[in-house]
Structure 1
Amino acid sequence: MSDMLTVSKKLGYKVVVMSNEEAIVTGGYAGDLLSDVMGHAQEGEILITIQAHKNSIAVASLLGLSGIIICNSRDVSDDMKLAAKEQGITLFTTSDTQYRASIHLASVLA
């Protein structure tokens, strides 16, 4: 576990929205099927996905996730950025695949 600001610095990914620097990151969950994410992701985790739309923010908010990493250089829409700000969800982007982002996040949290 670590706070979001520390995780952000260690990840080195582009920060699109930084909401709560003191939020505790407990782990990560990689998935693109949001119904699966809803059934399995845990509060405090960071969602690792390619789903770059505001529905991902809604799921993250509902579950109490600490943030989202959008992979594969996907563009983040303005409505997703706005939703992240409104819901207090930190949002990152990276060119990494979900596999690499998962490994990287795990090493940062180890």
Structure 2
Amino acid sequence: MTVQELTGALSLTVYHLEAPDRPVTSGYAGDLLSWVLGRAERDCAWLTIMSNQNVAAVALMAEAACVVLTEGVAPDGELLRRAAEKGVNLLGTELDTFTAAHRLAGMLSP
């Protein structure tokens, strides 16, 4: 599945879409940035409620395919700027984190 396909399947809001064809191979849900950095898999869809500029840096270092802000959280201006600057796919949903993770898992399961 690609980031673009994920965006359509979950009706995600696009905040920044640098690489729509990037593959999504797993998911990760977490809000503690240092924890995410050490545990998220490359090419994951990272689900979080964190919306500050550090999210873009962690997504870049963790090599996440995209960040999905859950629970209706909107990115702050600095996160939008950093996502565009660093080429981070940044998306959003009104779904709570559990529901978004459950739907993502269902789409990624064989």
TM-score, normalised via structure 2 length = 0.92
Matches within 5 A, 1:31-70: 31-70=30-69
Other-structure match for 1:4 = 3
Matches within 5 A, 1:78-97: 78-97=77-96
CA distance in 2, matches of 1:87, 1:108: 27
TM-score, normalised via structure 1 length = 0.92
CA distance in 2, matches of 1:75, 1:89: 15
* 3-state SS in 1 of match to 2:73: coil
CA distance in 2, matches of 1:17, 1:108: 22
CA distance in 2, matches of 1:23, 1:79: 23
CA distance in 1, matches of 2:95, 2:6: 16
Gaps of 5+ in 2: none
Q: For residue 98 of structure 1, report the CA deviation from its aligned partner.
A: 0.8
Give the paired residue count: 109
Other-structure match for 1:13 = 12
Aligned AA for 1:87? K
* 3-state SS in 1 of match to 2:98: helix
Give the number of the structure whose residues are more often strand, by fraction: 1
Gaps of 5+ in 1: none
CA distance in 1, matches of 2:19, 2:98: 25
Identity of aligned residues (%): 28
Backbone CA RMSD of aligned residues: 1.1
